[in-house]
């Protein structure tokens, strides 16, 4: 597949649009949105339950060295990798949106029918 200089100057994402045009942008966006929703729910649940259990052990409502006190600390610490996963999902979602815009622009300007936008 040949690219003209104008096409390459549009966006660095345009290189991958021609080869992977069979993929549905809607399906990719839905996949990353679903993973973002799951990550957000997991982040909220682990963060809140970790704060509640860690706070209860800090205020001596439960023993700090009991299973619940340690679980609160582990849940609070495990919230940060979930936040990193959410940032990754947001980045991939933005990449999918950018690829869809480039394919749409390319189809509009160049009349390229191989760039399908679902």
pLDDT mean values, one per 10 residues, the chain (118 residues) = 52 50 77 96 96 92 90 94 96 92 85 57
- The DSSP output letter for 12 is T
- The reported pLDDT for the residue numbered 52 is 95
Q: CA 95, CA 89: separation in Å to the nearest integer?
A: 10
**Strand ranges for 36-106 from DSSP E:** none
- The reported pLDDT for the residue numbered 108 is 86
83 CB neighbour count, 10 Å cutoff: 14
- The reported pLDDT for the residue numbered 1 is 46
- The DSSP output letter for 116 is -
- The reported pLDDT for the residue numbered 105 is 86
Predicted TM-score (pTM) of the model is 0.68
Q: CA 28, CA 113: separation in Å to the nearest integer?
A: 20
């Amino acid at each position: 597949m040949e690219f003209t200089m104008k096409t390459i100057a549009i966006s660095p994402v345009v290189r991958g649009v021609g080869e992977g045009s069979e993929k549905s942008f809607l399906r990719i966006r839905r996949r990353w949105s679903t993973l973002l929703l799951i990550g957000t729910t997991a982040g909220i649940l682990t963060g809140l339950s970790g704060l509640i259990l860690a706070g209860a052990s800090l205020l001596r409502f439960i023993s700090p060295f009991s299973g619940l006190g340690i679980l609160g600390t582990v849940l609070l610490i495990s919230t940060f990798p979930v936040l990193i996963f959410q940032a990754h999902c947001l980045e991939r979602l933005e990449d999918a949106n950018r690829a869809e815009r480039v394919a749409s622009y390319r189809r509009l300007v160049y009349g390229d029918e191989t760039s399908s936008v679902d």
